[in-house]
A and B are shown apart, each in its own frame.
Chain A
Amino acid sequence: MALPTTLTLEIVTPDRALAREEVDEVVVPGSEGELGILPGHTPLLATLKVGELWYRQGRETHHLSVAFGFVEVLPDRVTILAHVAERAQDIDIERAERARRRAEERLEKPSAQTDLDFERARIAMMKALIRLQVASRARTRV
C-alpha cells in the first residue's frame, strides 16, 4: 500500500464544521505534548489541551487556537473534535485581552479561593493567552 501524500484535515466543534482541507502537515497540541503529523502517520487517538494548532498547505501555514477535545489520526486523515476552535483571523483580540485581565485578577486575589476556582481561572488564563498568541501570528504573517 502506497503511503498517502496528503492528509485530509477535518476540524469540527459542537457548533460548526470549521475546516475540511487537504494539507501536508499538521501540528496539534496533545495533552501530553505537541504532536506533529505527516501523511502516513500511524493510527492515533489523543486528547487535546488548550493550545495552538497549525497546518501547512504547500508553503502556506494556517494557525488556529483550540481548547480541549480529541484528535483521531489515520494514515490519510486527521479529525479534530475540539470543544472550542477558532481561526487566527477570527479571534477577537480585545475580548481575549479582557479575558486575560479578568483571569489575572482572579488568580492574584487569594481570598476565598477553592482549588476549583483557581483551576478555572488558570484554564481561562491559558485560553486567553493562547488566543492572543495565535491572533498575533495571523497579523505577522501578512
Chain B
Amino acid sequence: MPSLIDLRRRIRAVKSTQQITKAMKMIAASRLRRAQERVISARPFAQRMRQVLNGLVSRVEQDAHPLLRIPVPGVGRPLLIVITADRGLCGSFNSNVIKAGGQFIANEGQGRAIALGLVGRKGRDFFRRRGFDVRYERVGLFQHLSFADAAEIADVAIEEFTSGNASSVHLVFNEFKSVMTQRIVVEPLLPIPRIEEKAPVAGPAVDYLYEPSPEGIFKDLLPRHVQVQVYRALLESNAAFFAAQMTAMDAATRNSAEMLESLTLYMNKVRQAAITREIIEVVSGAAAT
C-alpha cells in the first residue's frame, strides 16, 4: 500500500499537469479561432481560381503548358509532400498524416522509391530517421504562416516536376472539417488534375478575349494556382492542428480530473485505515496494561 505522502505527491503532480493541459487548451482555442478565420477567408480565392482555370483549360491546347503534361510512365518518381505540425500534444494528428503517407508510399511505390517533401518537424523527424529520399524539408513555418512560404514550397514542387525528377506531386495533410473532426486528404498537385465539369455550363462556352494571349495568361495562372493550393493546404493543416490540440488537451484535462477524484478517494481511504490502525494500537495497548 502506498504511503500517504506518496499519494499526496502524486495528487500534486496530476494537479499541475491538469493546469498545464488546461492552459494549453485555452491557448489552442484562441489560436484556432484565428486559424479558422484564415482558412475560411482563403477558401473563396482557391475556389474562384479553380473556376477561372476550369474555364480556361477547355479552351487551350491540352499540352499547352508543362504543368499539365501527363508524365511518361517510368520516368522520374512520385513526390509526396507530407504536411505535419511542428509540435505534438495533439492526439493522433501527426501520426494519422504519417500513416497516410506510409500507405501512399506502399501503394504508389511498388518497387520504385518515392521522394518526399516534408513540412513540419514531426513528419520530418519521422521520415528522416527512416532514411527516405527527402528532397525538401521545412520546419517552423507555422508560427508565421505566409503566402510566401507556400509559394516557396510550390516552386520546389514545380521545379521538381518540370525538370522531370518527379513524375507527379501529391500532398497529404489534415483538412479542417470542424473543430471535432479532421480529415486526412491525399491530393494530387501536379500534373494539375483535369477538373471534369459536371454539366456543361449553360449555353455554348463563351469565347473570351484574352489580354495578353491565352498562353501568356496560362503561364501566369498555373504556377499561381499551384501556390494557392499549397497555401490552402497549409492553412487547413494549421487550423486542424489547433483543433486537434484543443480536443486532445480538453480530454487530458477531463482525464486528470477523473484521476484526481479517484486518487483523492484512495488517499482518504488510506488515511482512514492508518487512523483506525493507530486507534486499535492505542486501545489494545491500553487494554494490555
Contacts and interface: CB of A to CB of B under 8 A. Distances in A.
Interface of A: 10, 12-17, 30-32, 35, 42-47, 69-70, 72, 74, 79, 81, 83
A81 B49 contact: yes
Contacts of B38: 15
Interface in B40-67: 41-42, 44-45, 48-49, 52, 55-56
A47 B231 CA distance: 21
A34 B79 CA distance: 41
A12 B48 contact: yes
A23 B216 CA distance: 29
Most central of A14, A47, A74 by chain B CB within 10 Å: A14
B44 A30 contact: no
B201 to A, nearest CB: 11
B208 A81 contact: no
B220 interface: yes
Interface in B217-232: 217, 220-221, 224, 228, 231
Question: Top 9 nearest A-B pairs by Cβ distance?
Answer: A16-B41, A46-B211, A44-B209, A12-B45, A43-B208, A17-B44, A43-B206, A45-B208, A12-B44
A72 B52 CA distance: 7
B212 A47 contact: yes
B42 A15 contact: yes
Contact of B208 (A12, A13, A16, A44): A44
B147 interface: yes
Contact of A10 (B48, B210, B212, B220): B48
Contacts of B217: 45-47, 70
Given A45-B217, A72-B52, A14 B208 contact: no
A14 B48 contact: no
Contact of A79 (B52, B209, B210): B52
The dominant DSSP class at the B interface is helix
Contacts of B207: 43
Interface in B197-248: 206-212, 214, 216-217, 220-221, 224, 228, 231
Nearest to A30: B211
Interface residues of B, number: 26
23 contacts: A10-B48, A12-B45, A14-B42, A14-B45, A14-B147, A15-B45, A15-B147, A16-B42, A17-B45, A30-B211, A32-B211, A42-B209, A43-B206, A43-B209, A45-B52, A45-B56, A45-B209, A45-B217, A47-B216, A69-B224, A70-B217, A72-B52, A81-B49
Contacts of A16: 41-42
Contacts of A43: 206-209
- Chain A CB within 10 Å, residue with most, of B44, B52, B216, B231: B44
B217 to A, nearest CB: 6
Nearest to B45: A12
Nearest to A46: B211
A70 B221 contact: yes
Contact of A14 (B52, B209, B216, B231): B231
A31 B212 contact: yes
A14 B49 CA distance: 10
A13 B209 CA distance: 23
A31 B213 CA distance: 11
Nearest to B38: A15
A57 to B, nearest CB: 21
Contacts of A30: 211
B155 to A, nearest CB: 14
A43 B55 CA distance: 11
Interface string B11-47: 0000000000000000000000000001001101100
B228 A14 contact: yes
